[in-house]
Amino acid sequence: MDIEQLIKKLENEIRTTQKAQEQVESLDRLKEIASVYRGEDQVISFDKIAEKIKLRKDEPKFMSGFSGLDELLKGFRQQQLVVISALTKSGKTQFCMDLTCRMKELNPLWFPFEESAEELITKFLERGEETPKAFAPENMKGSAIDWIESKIVESIAKYDSKIVFIDQLDFIVKMSSDDHHLRIGQTMRDLKAIAKKWNIVIFLICHLTKAKMDTQPTLEDLKGSSSIAQEADTVILLWRETKRQKGEVVITNNVNVSVQANRRTGKTGNVKMIYENGHFLEQEWKTDAEQDLENDEYFSDK
Nearest to 256 by CA among 294, 289, 224: 289
How far is Cα of residue 167 from the mean position of the Cα atoms in its chain?
A: 13
- Dmax of the chain from CA atoms? 109
pLDDT range class, residue 21, cuts 50, 70, 90: confident
Q: Which residue has the higher pLDDT, 151 or 215?
A: 151
pLDDT band at 2 (very low <50, low <70, confident <90, very high): low
| Full DSSP string of 235-258 | EEEEEEEEEEETTEEEEEEEEEEE
Rounded Cα gap, residues 282 and 272, in angstroms:
6
Tell me what the mean pLDDT of segment 252-265 comes to: 95
The residues, ordered by sequence, that sit 6+ positions from 120 with a Cβ below 8 Å of its Cβ are 93, 97, 110, 112, 132
> What residue ranges do the domains of the chain occupy?
56-237
Say what the pLDDT of residue 186 is: 94
Is residue 231 scored above 80 in pLDDT?
Answer: yes
Residue of higher predicted confidence among 237 and 15: 237
As a whole number of angstroms, the distance between CA 179 and CA 184 comes to: 9
Contact (CB, 8 A) for 168 and 207: yes
Q: Give the single-character DSSP code of 222.
A: B
**What integer pLDDT is reported at residue 245 of this predicted model?**
79
221-240 exposure pattern, b = at least 16 Cβ within 10 A, e = fewer: bbbbbebbbebbbbbbbbbb
The pLDDT tens digits for 187-226 are 999 999 999 999 999 999 999 987 677 888 999 999 888 9
Is the predicted pLDDT of residue 246 greater than 90, yes or no?
no
Residues 6+ apart with CB under 8 A from 181: 224, 225, 226, 227
Q: Which of 49-58, 125-134, 139-148 has the lowest mean pLDDT?
A: 49-58
Confidence (pLDDT) at 286:
87
DSSP 171: G
Closest CA to 61 of 52, 70, 69, 53: 70
> pLDDT digits over 46-89, tens only?
999 999 888 887 889 999 999 999 999 999 999 999 999 999 88
pLDDT-wise least confident of 6-15, 93-102, 149-158, 292-301? 292-301
Q: What is the CA radius of gyration of the chain?
A: 28
56-237 is classed in which CATH architecture? 3-Layer(aba) Sandwich (3.40)
- Predicted confidence at residue 111, as pLDDT, reads 97
